[in-house]
């Protein structure tokens, strides 16, 4: 089992509190969603998200997600000035959490993207395996270039 990184000072020792302090705002969760589901990997792609995140908030959340070890960056091989954002293993481990949040919201609210909800409901394990496989392929392609 990999050794856990020493954690920053949390407001309390509660694991849920640690999760909320890392992920508790909507923008962090939406950035992770865009990486997992839409395949977003660049700053520009995150800015093009439907929710319309402001540039200062995006930069701040990307820094926080990287500081918490949820994402990492590497230079774009085709343009060294540009960064590519990648989920870490810790980040991809959030796939079941986000899936459950989507299903919970769809069960209790009038939401869109019912095709995605049906796909998740039909076979959650297969959906999650697909997310992990697509992400592994994206990650391996970015390191091969």
* Domain-embedded: residue 10: no
**Residue 145, pLDDT score:** 44
Distances (CA, A) of 80 to 42, 62, 68, 77, 128: 13, 18, 24, 6, 32
The neighbour count for residue 23, using CB atoms within 10 Å, is 20
**Residue 56, pLDDT score:** 96
Distances (CA, A) of 65 to 1, 74, 77, 98, 134: 22, 14, 22, 15, 21
Question: pLDDT tens digits, residue range 78-112?
Answer: 888 899 999 999 999 999 999 999 999 999 999 98
What angle do helix axes 55-67 and 26-33 make, rounded to 10 degrees? 80
* Domain-embedded: residue 126: yes
Domain that holds residue 39: 16-144
29: pLDDT strictly greater than 70: yes
How far, in Å, CA of 48 to CA of 46, rounded?
5
Model-wide pTM > 0.85: no
* Domain-embedded: residue 1: no
* Domain-embedded: residue 80: yes
Domain tally, the chain: 1
**Residue 120, pLDDT score:** 92
- What percentage of the chain carries pLDDT values higher than 70? 88
* Domain-embedded: residue 28: yes
**Rounded (5°) CA angle 86-7-31:** 30
* Domain-embedded: residue 2: no
| C-beta separation of 85 from 41 below 8 A | yes
Supply the CATH number for residue 136's domain.
1.10.10.10
* Averaged pLDDT for residues 8-21: 82
* Domain-embedded: residue 5: no
Rounded to the nearest integer, the mean pLDDT of the chain is 87
* Domain-embedded: residue 22: yes
2: pLDDT strictly greater than 70: no
């Amino acid at each position: 089992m990999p050794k856990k990184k020493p954690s920053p000072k949390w407001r309390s020792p509660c694991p849920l509190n640690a999760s909320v302090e890392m992920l508790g705002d909507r923008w962090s969760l939406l950035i992770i969603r865009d990486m997992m589901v839409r395949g977003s990997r660049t700053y520009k792609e995150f800015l093009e998200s439907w929710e319309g995140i402001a540039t200062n908030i995006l930069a701040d959340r990307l820094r926080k997600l990287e500081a918490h070890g949820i994402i990492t960056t590497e230079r774009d091989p085709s343009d060294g000035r540009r960064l590519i954002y990648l989920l870490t293993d810790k980040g991809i481990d959030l796939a079941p959490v986000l899936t459950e949040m989507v299903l919970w919201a769809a069960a209790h609210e009038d939401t869109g993207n019912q095709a995605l909800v049906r796909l998740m409901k039909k076979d959650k394990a297969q959906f999650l395996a697909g997310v992990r496989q697509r992400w592994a392929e994206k990650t391996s392609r970015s390191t091969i270039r």
